[in-house]
Structure 1
Amino acid sequence: MKGRTIILDHLGDTEAAALMIDGKLDDLLVDTPDAPRVGTIYRAIADRPVKGQGGMFLKTPDGSAFLRQIKGLAPGQPILVQVSGFAEDGKAIPVTSKLLFKSRYAIITPDAPGLNISRSIRDEEERDRLLEIAHEAMDGAAHGLILRSCCVGVEGDEIADDIEAMLGLAQTVLDDDSTEMEALTEGDGPHVLAWRDWVEPAEVVTDAGGFEEHAVLDAIDALFEDRIPLSGGASMYVEPTRALIAVDVNTGADVSLAAGIKANMACSRALPRALRLRGLGGQIVLDLAPMPKKDRRPFETALRAAFRADDVETTLVGWTPLGHYELQRKRARAPLADIMA
């Protein structure tokens, strides 16, 4: 099947959304009933600082949270925070004090005033049009605004309505002067996230049983296999451990002099999707196929380009003395294996 298809369905009783591109599963969002959604905003209560780490544990309705950069924050003080990722088992919920109110077209940024247009929009006339819409919709509001790249060509009224909705939500949250611990907003679920973030033209399927009809269930089953086939007969194994994600690249039957670099380049292209679909983050160590040191730079360039197109923040750390390559990836999603357990 050619083209893009968004399927909104459920896995059992759990809300989920899948993005298929040319018949291949490209992204998967699954709700986390037992954990707070990313984007949830709490009024938390400062609990106790962590010496040496520059952070503080907070009390929230969903358990302990951890906040970095706590200058001026004292135990017992209420503070607004937003869930920024998923916690490992037994660890505190990661939160940030920099709130974002994000929708399909607009992001309200209370801590960063100013009106901004996505840098990926390069047409000056379009930027001017969007800036006019932003000025009129914000109407002197003190908060900042970012208009996202998908605003290109969208009717001004639709963008303005989106800005107004996010601005109203921000005002409601920030103007609440209570000091009690509580959840003020809930993060978006998979179906809303699909509408918000998968913005390129696509067929949208909302009928029950869509996952089975479009072979999403078979694609999900394949995600529980450690081995991932690569082009040219190569393969890589993606294996989560308690400490890190280990990725082992093999050349397969190819015994040519270029077998190593070909397998590693194939890994660089496939790795972001493999991690995204499995919801994997944290420390990632690549045990690459043997290749000359002169081929390291082209590999890094290909890896950087692949992760630039991925929406989860990933830092390319570099080479170890043993010749492994390390990455650090934000835990923006819960591991699929944990959700489906």
Structure 2
Amino acid sequence: MKGRSIILDHIQGREAAALMVNGKLEDFFIDGDAPLPGTVYRARADRPVKGQGGMFLSTPDGPAFLRQVKGLAPGQMLLVQVTGYAEPGKAIPVTQKLLFKSRYAIATPDAPGLNISRSIRDEEERDRLLEIAHGVLEGASHGMILRSACAGADADEVAEDIEAMADLAAQILADAEGDTEVLTEGDGPHLRAWREWSAPADIYREAGDFEHHGVLDALETTRSIREPLPGGAYLFIESTRALVAVDVNTGNDTSLAAGTKANIACAKHLPRALRLRGLGGQIVIDVAPMPKKDRSTFESALRGALRADSEDTILVGWTNLGNFELQRKRGRTVLADLLT
């Protein structure tokens, strides 16, 4: 199946959304049991954690952990937003830097000013968007970012989105007083798909469309620890409590350049493999044998692939044993924990 398709369906009673590109599963969102990223709480500061510069908070969904808490005292009420998913048994990660994100606009109460995505380079288009935003935001005190999806979008739709995010931000900021409470929930898979997958695509939303469009078959591969690569190489991706281990294998290729080719293929395809599996935290790649002179090529390929990825990932570097380390945001639920 050629082209881009967005399939909205349910699997095992959970809302889910799949992005298929030329018949291949490119991205996948699924509803979990934990609070969704983007959820905003009115929370209460409980106790600081010495040596870590953080504090545990009380929320309606359980304990949360906030970093960088200078000047915050136990018992103080504050607004915080969920930033990702916690490991089992750990507190919900939150931040005081609130963002209200939609398809076309992101309201930024802590960062005044109006900014447009750098991917929109056409000056006439940027001027058009500035005119739309200024017409909606006149007198607004918080900032706004216009996303890349605004390029060529209908002016009324962009204006409506900007106004909705501005109103939501104002409403939440005005509701800082009171006991602990969920002030707004994060976006579920279907709404998140509309928000993030903005490129033109065919949309399917009938029950059973996951099966009809090959999503269920693709998920079977994704749930496996084995990830095939072009050229016959493959990865083993295994999650432990401490880290995610990635082992690069050359397959049946016995040429002198087999290791380098397999590692470059790993670099290009690893972000997708981690994204679909919902894996984050510490990532350790046991690369196939290759000359040290090829390490920079591997890093460049990995950096380029991560640039287009939706989850923030830091390239930490090489270990003394020749492994390569990443630190990746836990922005998704682990697929293997949800689908049995």
Report the TM range for the smaller structure's normalisation. Answer: over 0.9
Please give the alpha-carbon distance, in whole angstroms, between the structure 1 residues aligned to 2:98 and 2:329: 17
Aligned to 2:196: 197
Corresponding residue for residue 130 of structure 1: 129
Tell me what 1:231 maps to: 230
Pick closer, same or farther for the CA change 1:129–1:185 going to 2, 3 Å: same
Distance in structure 1 (CA, Å) of the matches to 2:243 and 2:112:
38
1:272 to 2:277 alignment: no
How far apart in 2 are the matches of 1:90 and 1:177?
28
CA distance in 1, matches of 2:253, 2:116: 48
| More divergent stretch after superposition (170-179 vs 72-81) | 170-179
Provide the residue aligned with 2:31 in structure 1.
Answer: 31
CA RMSD of aligned residues (A): 0.8
Query: Equivalences for 1:177-326 in 2 at 5 Å?
Result: 177-326=176-325
Letter in 1 for 2:133: A
Specify the code of the residue in structure 2 equivalent to 1:16: A
Match of 1:67, SS state, is strand
Query: Partner residue of 2:102?
Result: 103
Partner of 2:328: 329
Runs of 4+ in 1 over 6 A off after TM superposition: none
What secondary structure does 1:207 align onto? coil
Paired AA for residue 327 in structure 2: Q
| 1:215 shift after superposition | 1.1
CA distance in structure 1 between the partners assigned to 2:240 and 2:40 by the alignment: 30
Consecutive unaligned residues in structure 2, runs of 5 or more: none
Identity of aligned residues (%): 69
Range with bigger deviation, 246-255 or 106-115: 246-255
- What is the correspondence of 1:15-164 to structure 2 with a 5 Å cutoff? 15-32=15-32, 34-164=33-163
Partner SS for 2:34: coil
Relative to the length of structure 1, the TM-score reads: 0.99
**Structure 1 Cα separation of the partners of residues 316 and 203 of structure 2:** 38
| Matched letter for residue 226 of structure 1 | I
Q: Offset at 1:298? A: 0.7
Q: Distance in 2 between matches of 1:103 and 1:253?
A: 46
Q: Does 1:4 align with 2:11?
A: no
- How far apart are the structure 2 equivalents of 1:303 and 1:140? 44
Q: How far is the alpha carbon of 1:132 from its aligned partner?
A: 1.1
- Amino acid of the structure 2 residue aligned with 1:22: N
> C-alpha separation between the residues in 2 aligned to 1:218 and 1:97?
40
Q: Is the 8 A contact 2:55 2:67 kept in 1?
A: yes
- Cα deviation for residue 177 of structure 1 reads 4.3
Local SS of the residue matching 1:183? strand
**Matched letter for residue 19 of structure 1:** L
What are the superposed Cα offsets for residues 191-228 of structure 1, whole Å, 9 maximum, x if unpaired? 00000000000000011111011111111111121111
TM-score, normalized by length of structure 2?
0.99
Inter-partner Cα distance in structure 2 for 1:172 and 1:284: 39
- 1-side partners of 2:141 and 2:112: how far apart? 7
CA shift for structure 1 position 230: 1.1
Structure 2 residue identity aligned to 1:330: K
Task: Describe the superposition over 1:47-99 as per-residue Cα deviations: whole angstroms up to 9, x where unpaired.
Answer: 00000000000000000000001011100000000000000000000000000
In 1: Cα distance, 2:128 partner to 2:227 partner: 46
- Please give the alpha-carbon distance, in whole angstroms, between the structure 2 residues aligned to 1:98 and 1:225: 37
- C-alpha separation between the residues in 2 aligned to 1:267 and 1:282? 18
Matches within 5 A, 1:162-173: 162-173=161-172
What is the alpha-carbon distance in structure 2 between the residues aligned to residue 230 and residue 215 of structure 1? Answer: 19
Q: Secondary structure at the match of 1:290?
A: coil
The 10-residue stretch of structure 1 (5-14 or 217-226) with the greater mean CA deviation from structure 2: 217-226
Q: CA deviation at 1:12?
A: 2.3
Q: SS of the counterpart of 1:179?
A: coil
> The residue matched to 2:223 in structure 1 has which SS?
coil
Distance in 1 (alpha carbons) for counterparts of 2:118 and 2:60:
38
Could you give the per-residue CA deviations for residues 140-177 of structure 1, whole angstroms, max 9, x where no partner exists?
Answer: 20000000001011122111110111111111111114
